[in-house]
Structure 1
Amino acid sequence: MGTGRLSIDLSAIVSNWKALASLARTEAAPVVKADAYGLGVGPVARALAEAGARRFFVAYAEEGFALRRALGPGPEILVLGGHMEGDARLLAECGLTPMLNSVEQLTRHLESMPEQPFGLQLDTGMNRLGFEWAEWAAVAEIALSQAPVLLMSHLACADEPDHPMNPYQLDLFRQMTDGLNVPRSLSATGGILLGPDYHFDLVRPGIGLYGGLPFEHAQPVVALDLPVIQVRELQEGEVAGYGNTWQAQRPSRLATVAAGYADGLLRSLSHRLTLWNGDKPCPAVGRVSMDLLIVDVTDLDGTPEALTILGPKQGIDRLGESAGTIGYEVLTSLGSRYARAYRG
């Protein structure tokens, strides 16, 4: 096999969803935007639907179209980006529910498709999406008269449990929504872990489904093994890779491995990356290039057929830390060239 093998455990995703839903003790609507965080929206969403999920969140109407094709009729698909110009046809044909974010979107939706269900997103301090306090005060009566299906906001610092922004946003969300006869949602994965005050009527687990922090008890979901193309012997003093940035300090064996930044292994991992052969670490050397890595396998007893970059010794968050980023970016950057195998 010329490309890496990416193994995705659907049963682990379902188990993580059930665990987060159990913590929240309320409806848990999976977030499957960005092609289910890079893991394939069709297989992932179908597994979750078969396990009982009836609502899903995506970012844009185009993602909702792909999800509806995967799921067929039935489950509700909510669009976080709301009703953008030109979305009406997709929203109608695919039965999508936009989460309206502004007066402009509310006007567009009520004028163009007054019978289409919608929800509303409120800004409680993140300053990214949603109606701010003054806007909400101005349009709340009109919006609520049209029977929105959900009122939601989003926490900016939920992965930091002691951050003062969390109770601030909770208080503001309550002030904006208490007493309204509409289901409410405030929390994604991090908010679920903050406790029942943050759960309301629906939670939106995302990264926790896919094995990432801050859900420390998540089951691992992905494994990635990269095939070795060639192994060569170097003498002390020889160099390897672009720019000659690595020089052998001893006689060395180097394996050239089939993956690079075109496959989502960020160039920032250069000189900071470890692969594994079972329990034995194998440092990558030199720069990450487009299609290839060079790995020092001098201390291995034999020549491996493949090396592991995501597995028991290194998950998405540890790899993200090595790259100076987060597990989200590791997942969503996984390239299309991997041979994908779904389990469970």
Structure 2
Amino acid sequence: MTSTQPHITTAGADPRLAGGRLTIDLDALVANWTFLAEKSKPAKASAVVKANAYGLGIEQVVPVLWDAGCRTFFVALVEEGLRVKAVAPDARVFVLNGLFAEARPVYETSKLIPVLGSDFEINLWTRANAESGLKLPYALHVDTGMNRLGLTVAEALEFAANTREMPVLVMTHLATADEPGHLLNQRQFESFQKLRAAFAGIESSASNSSGIFHAVSNGGDLSRPGIAMYGGEALAGVANPMRPVVTLEARVVQIRTGLKGETAGYGATALLERDTRIAICSTGYADGYLRSLSGSGTPLRNVVHKGGEGFVAGHKVPVIGRVTMDMTSFDVTGLPEASIKPGDYIELFGHNIALDDAARAAGSIGFELLTSLGNRYHRRYLYSGKGD
């Protein structure tokens, strides 16, 4: 009988020496991608693995998604694309962040596909194709309302009417898809349908994680799930249906008692209103646990009064004072003394504290917390291959 227990692989710092650990549930990741792929139908689902697979590791994430049936990946940079190809040689990989002339030889040998979004890039690519005699494929990025990368809709329509060297994919990016009621969504989808008509027969893509939860018929032939695949929220104000993928924990170095009337941390910003038991953990902003999660002493606390929280011994415990480069302190006064000791772990986000709740306490988003994760953690990857 095949075991259903997840296999554990490790990476990063030695667990005996690290001040914190990341547990990455690859089964949950696959389950999330499968859910999003089903929701994307009749479109096919790709996977966005830029920024080192949102901080989780391209080398660990891409193979399990490939095994789950994902065949197309999006990255930001050529270097990331080469890493995808190293673990999934047959994958189709699009590079989002434009084209630099010096990169052309790498495209010729790697079969990566650039996403072009300006006349300059298109001319550079087609001229190189003509000079080399190679008809290397490219994707076309059209700006339908974000004012970032891409041809304007008018430029793209003119290009479609006049070019002989068509792209293999035409795509756009949604600016406000996480806010379902925003008027820009409809305008972008309407522009996208004009593009689909002009580029008839060419694969098209508009839906990111948030876009997948809009009308599927508007989203093109290929969806591009990102944050939702990693467990983050896709839509604002809506219960998150995705499974948590990442658990971040900090290790307790010391537990001390501060007396009523004393202060804690840099700047003496935390005034102790009672005798307070403080758990000092070996994780800080150098590890990606943002300084804005401080319980006091940062500008954000003038607007959002509640800072970050940890979870230990069945209870949430607040950050006290400022998050520092290498350490964060938690108020554990309410816990029984025997329930926490040096060497224990306090969850910073995961199953008990949602990624996006932690991000909101920092005045940020789940994207930033994940992609800020440092390299000093011990990493544990759980994978049974079941994806359920």
The TM-score with structure 2 as length reference comes to 0.85
**1:203 and 2:220 are equivalent in the alignment:** no
1:330 to 347, 359, 369: 369
- Quote the Cα distance in structure 2 between the aligned partners of 1:306 and 1:186: 41
Distance in 2 between the 1:138 and 1:193 partners?
Answer: 31
Counterpart contact for 2:250–2:348, Cα < 8 Å: yes
Residue in 2 aligned with 1:194?
Answer: 214
Give me the whole-angstrom Cα distance separating, in 2, the residues matched to 1:93 and 1:45: 21
Alignment match of 1:184 (pick from 183, 189, 204): 204
User: Is 1:296–2:312 an aligned residue pair?
Assistant: no
Aligned residue for 2:175, secondary structure, equals: coil
CA-to-aligned-CA distance 1:108-144 (integer Å, 9 cap, x gap): 111113421111111111111111133224432454x
Instruction: State the alpha-carbon separation in 1 of the partners of residues 161 and 128 from structure 2.
Output: 19
Q: In structure 1, what is the Cα distance between the partners aligned to 2:332 and 2:313?
A: 12
Residue deviations 1:66-89, cap 9 Å, x none? 221232x21100111232221112
CA shift, 1:197, in A, is 2.5
* Structure 1 residue 283 corresponds to structure 2 residue 318: yes
2:378 to 326, 339, 344: 339
**Number of the residue aligned with 1:161:** 180
Partner amino acid for 2:280?
T
8 Å contact from structure 2 (residues 193, 218) kept in 1:
no
Q: Map of 1:33-44 to 2, 5 A cutoff?
A: 33-44=50-61
Cα offset, 1:18, TM superposition: 0.7
Which stretch of the first structure deviates more once superposed, 28-37 or 91-100? 91-100
Is 1:21–2:37 an aligned residue pair?
yes
Q: What CA distance in whole angstroms lies between the structure 1 residues aligned with 2:369 and 2:248?
A: 12
Q: What letter matches 1:267 in structure 2? A: R
- Asked whether the equivalents of residues 19 and 283 of structure 2 are also in contact (C-alpha less than 8 Å), the reply is yes
The superposition leaves residues 183-207 of structure 1 with CA deviations (integer Å, 9 ceiling, x where unpaired) of 1111111111002232221110011
User: SS in structure 1 opposite 2:154?
Assistant: helix
Instruction: Output the CA distance in 2 between the equivalents of 1:79 and 1:153.
Output: 14
2:350 to 311, 315, 319: 311
CA distance in 2, matches of 1:142, 1:332: 41
Partner of 1:251: 275
Alignment partners' CA distance in 1, 2:20 and 2:282: 7
- Residue 312 of structure 1: how far off its partner (Å): 2.0
- Deviations 1:155-211 (Å, cap 9, x if unpaired)? 111001111111111111112331522111111111110022322211100111000
Other-structure match for 2:4: none
Distance in 1 (CA, whole Å) between partners of 2:258 and 2:358 is 28
Q: Give the whole-Å Cα distance in 2 for the aligned partners of 1:107 and 1:38.
A: 34
- 3-state SS of the aligned residue for 1:57? strand
Matching of residue 69 in structure 1 with residue 102 in structure 2:
no
Instruction: Tell me the equivalent position of 1:131.
Output: 151
Q: Which moved more, 1:223-232 or 1:296-305?
A: 296-305
CA distance in structure 1 between the aligned counterparts of 2:345 and 2:205, rounded to whole angstroms: 44
Paired residues in the alignment total 342
Q: TM-score, normalised by structure 1?
A: 0.96
How far apart, CA to CA, are the structure 2 residues paired with 1:316 and 1:142? 47
The separation in 1 between residues aligned to 2:188 and 2:276, in whole angstroms, is 55
> For the residues of structure 2 that align with 1:255 and 1:214, how far apart are their CA atoms?
34
Q: Distance in 2 between matches of 1:51 and 1:28?
A: 11
Q: Note if contact 2:46-2:73 (Cα within 8 Å) is conserved in structure 1.
A: yes
Cα distance in structure 1, aligned partners of 2:347 and 2:153: 49
SS of the counterpart of 1:122?
strand
The range that moved more, 78-87 or 255-264, is: 78-87
- Give the aligned partner of residue 62 of structure 2: 45
CA contact (8 A) 2:98 2:115 kept: yes
Structure of higher RCO (CA pairs closer than 8 Å, 6+ residues apart): 2
Contact 1:279 1:313 in 2 (8 A): no
Contact in 1 for aligned 2:294/2:308 (Cα 8 Å): yes
Give the corresponding residue for 2:252.
228
3-state secondary structure, aligned to 2:346: strand
8 Å Cα contact 2:257-2:276 kept in structure 1: yes
| Cα-to-partner distance string for 1:206-260 (whole Å, 9 max, x where unaligned) | 1110001126211110111111001112221222111111122111211110100
Q: Does 1:266 align with 2:287?
A: no
State which of 161, 167, 172 in structure 1 corresponds to 2:191: 172
Q: Gaps (5+ residues) in structure 1?
A: none
The residue matched to 2:310 in structure 1 has which SS? strand
Q: Which residue of 1 aligns with 2:139?
A: 119
SS at match of 1:200: coil
Aligned amino acid, residue 52 of structure 1: G
| Contact 1:126/1:156 (<8 A) preserved | yes
Greater shift, 193-202 or 157-166, is seen at 193-202
Report the secondary structure of 2:48's partner residue.
coil
Unaligned runs of 5+ in 2: 1-15, 296-306, 384-388
SS at match of 1:158: coil
Q: Which amino acid aligns with 2:259?
A: Q
In structure 1, C-alpha distance between the alignment counterparts of 2:147 and 2:288, rounded to whole Å = 29
